[in-house]
């Protein structure tokens, strides 16, 4: 299990022994540099894919890809507005 985690770029699992049970804590992949930048821009007020694309100097489709990745990693949520 340790070998598979490290081979896939994940942190090594923790093995915890408690009173009547044993548990293994697995960690998810961390964010890449672009995802960290996107989070930073969101905190600074860039709240749309077009604003993020402009700041990163990438196309909007790529910005949406990073946003979707952050949603799937539960780092941000989607907000839908109706007019």
**Could you tell me if 38 and 60 lie in one domain?**
yes
How far apart are alpha carbons 34 and 64 in whole angstroms? 12
> Is the pLDDT confidence value at 37 over 80?
yes
**Distance spanning both ends of the chain, measured CA to CA:** 50
pLDDT per residue as tens digits for the range 38-66: 999 999 999 899 999 999 999 999 999 99
**Could you tell me if 23 and 42 lie in one domain?**
no
77 assigned to some structural domain: no
Range of the domain at 42: 33-72
82 assigned to some structural domain: no
pLDDT per residue as tens digits for the range 60-77: 999 999 999 999 888 899
CB 75 within 8 Å of CB 31:
yes
**Could you tell me if 17 and 44 lie in one domain?**
no
**Could you tell me if 40 and 10 lie in one domain?**
no
Residue 17 confidence (pLDDT): 93
16 assigned to some structural domain: yes
């Amino acid at each position: 299990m340790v070998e598979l985690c490290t081979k896939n770029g994940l942190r090594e699992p923790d093995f915890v022994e408690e009173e009547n049970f044993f548990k293994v804590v697995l960690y998810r992949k961390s964010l890449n540099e672009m995802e960290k930048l996107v989070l930073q821009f969101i905190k600074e007020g860039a709240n749309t894919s077009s604003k993020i694309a402009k700041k990163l100097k990438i196309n909007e489709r790529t910005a949406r890809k990073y946003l979707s990745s952050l949603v799937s990693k539960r780092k941000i949520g989607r907000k839908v507005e109706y007019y």
